[in-house]
Amino acid sequence: MKGKIVSTAGGIYTIYVDGITYNVFPKGIFKFKKQHLCVGDNVNFDENEFVITEILERKNELIRPRSANIDLLLITMSVVEPDLSKELLYKFLTYANMNGIEAKVLFTKLDLLKDKSELNSLIEDLNKLDIEVFSISKKDDSDLNKIKEVTKGKTTIVMGQTGVGKSSFLNLLDEKFERKIGSYSEARGRGKHQTKEVILLPFNEGFIGDTPGFSALDLELFKEDLAQFFPGYNKYYTECYFSNCLHQNEKQCKIKEKISKGNLSKEGYEIYIKLLSDLKYRNERYSK
Ligand SMILES: Nc1nc2c(ncn2[C@@H]2O[C@H](COP(=O)(O)OP(=O)(O)O)[C@@H](O)[C@H]2O)c(=O)[nH]1
Ligand SMILES: [Mg+2]
Ligand SMILES: [Zn+2]
């Protein structure tokens, strides 16, 4: 029988088929071949012997949050508690681009933000990059219907730091999800994660995934990746004179040209430069 892995715990995988779940074991052969199953995998399994017999080809996969066959990443950022980090947001967006996965942004806790002017200019920048943005707060859930529309029939992964309100948002989408909510102070403290693994919840003719929070440092990203996949840069990257241009002081840099012409955001570039200085070279060991 064919199904989708929706969660895993203690070496047992939960497979979902048309409203029914089965708890099964992977066959020894997967471990032997170093094929690692993950949440989101479509598999064939033997429902009598409770073993997974085959992993079907993945359309894509992410290392963090560990998941496969993703149609949409909903990058979730709180505007306060924790404060909005544009660097982190652009890092997440770069990561999505790099993995070839469509991303949309969800801002949470708007009820706690007094001055929205900075947020609004960020949203404008994102919209110019054709990135759709939603916002929700305890007082205003009017974007929920839009989110229901864009997630219909898809496998969506809700990703973001611990404490931004991912689980709260899922409970708003469907109260039957009954996701455990952590407190912000807990999240800051010893990093008590309420969610240990990605779990896919059947939703709206597809699935929506709650994920464990993780630190930005967990994302494997190098300077070269940023130069190519920073939001908006992928389109022009190949037109830079140097194929490995980092868009700093290199000659005939298309990105810098687009910025001076106003086609790419100056503020975005400042964030780019800051992120660039924090990241390592992928090919460092070959230089010098
Ligand atoms: N004021 C406010 N607090 C929120 C909102 N969404 C979540 N929270 C709070 O943020 C904390 C962390 O929420 P949780 O959903 O567990 O975050 P997660 O770690 O991303 O799943 C909890 O104390 C929630 O009550 C919101 O829209 N407004
Ligand atoms: Mg949570
Ligand atoms: Zn360049």
245: domain CATH number is: 1.10.40.50
Q: Is the pLDDT of residue 255 over 90?
A: yes
- Pick the atom of ligand 1 nearest to 81's CA: 10
87 and 206 share one domain? yes
- Residue 50: C-alpha distances to residues 29, 197, 201, 268 (Å): 15, 22, 21, 51
Mean pLDDT of 54-82: 95
209 Cβ below 6 A of ligand 1: no
Closest CA to 84 of 72, 75, 74, 95: 75
pLDDT given for residue 10 in this prediction = 85
- The boundaries of the domain holding residue 11 are 2-57
172 and 260 share one domain? no
135 and 85 share one domain? yes
Domain-ending residue, one of 168, 193, 217: 217
Q: Find out whether 219 and 64 touch, Cβ atoms under 8 Å.
A: yes
189 and 274 share one domain? no
Q: Find out whether 191 and 215 touch, Cβ atoms under 8 Å.
A: no
The tokens of 181 are what? 């909510």
Measured CA to CA, the distance from residue 230 to residue 219 in angstroms comes to 14
Measured CA to CA, the distance from residue 144 to residue 209 in angstroms comes to 16
162 Cβ below 6 A of ligand 1: yes
136 and 88 share one domain? yes
- Residue-wise pLDDT for 232-249, tens only, equals 999 999 999 999 999 999
Backbone angles phi, psi at 112, to 5 degrees: -95, 0
Q: Indicate which CATH number applies to the domain containing 39.
A: 2.40.50.140
Identity (one letter) of the amino acid at 114?
Answer: K
- Ligand 3 center to residue 132 CA distance, Å? 26
Q: Is the pLDDT of residue 69 over 70?
A: yes
Mean pLDDT of 137-150: 93
256 Cβ below 6 A of ligand 1: no
- To the nearest whole number, what is the mean pLDDT of the chain? 91
164 Cβ below 6 A of ligand 1: yes
123 Cβ below 6 A of ligand 1: no
Name 25's Cβ contacts closer than 8 Å, sequence gap at least 6.
Answer: 11, 12, 13, 50, 51, 52
pLDDT top residue among 34 and 287: 34
249 and 132 share one domain? no
164 and 180 share one domain? yes
pLDDT given for residue 212 in this prediction = 83
- Ligand 2 center to residue 8 CA distance, Å? 16
244 and 263 share one domain? yes
pLDDT given for residue 190 in this prediction = 46
- Residue-wise pLDDT for 86-114, tens only, equals 999 999 999 999 999 999 999 999 999 99
Q: Is the pLDDT of residue 27 over 80?
A: no
Residue showing tokens 């404490």: 163
- Ligand 2 center to residue 196 CA distance, Å? 9
- Ligand 3 center to residue 73 CA distance, Å? 27
- Ligand 3 center to residue 219 CA distance, Å? 23
229 and 114 share one domain? no
pTM more than 0.95: no
Closest CA to 41 of 171, 209, 166: 209
> By three-state DSSP, how is residue 198 classified?
coil
For the chain, what is the largest distance between any 2 Cα atoms, rounded to a whole number of angstroms?
Answer: 65
DSSP designation for 213: -
- Ligand 3 center to residue 247 CA distance, Å? 4
Helices 86-98 and 266-278, packing angle to 10 deg: 80
Closest CA to 107 of 138, 147, 135, 72: 135
85 and 151 share one domain? yes
Q: Which ligand is nearest to the CA of 166?
A: 1
The number of domains in the chain is 3
Mutate to test the pocket of ligand 1, among 181, 197, 201, 214 (most ligand atoms within 8 A of CB): 181
Domain-ending residue, one of 158, 184, 217: 217
Percent of the chain with pLDDT over 90: 77
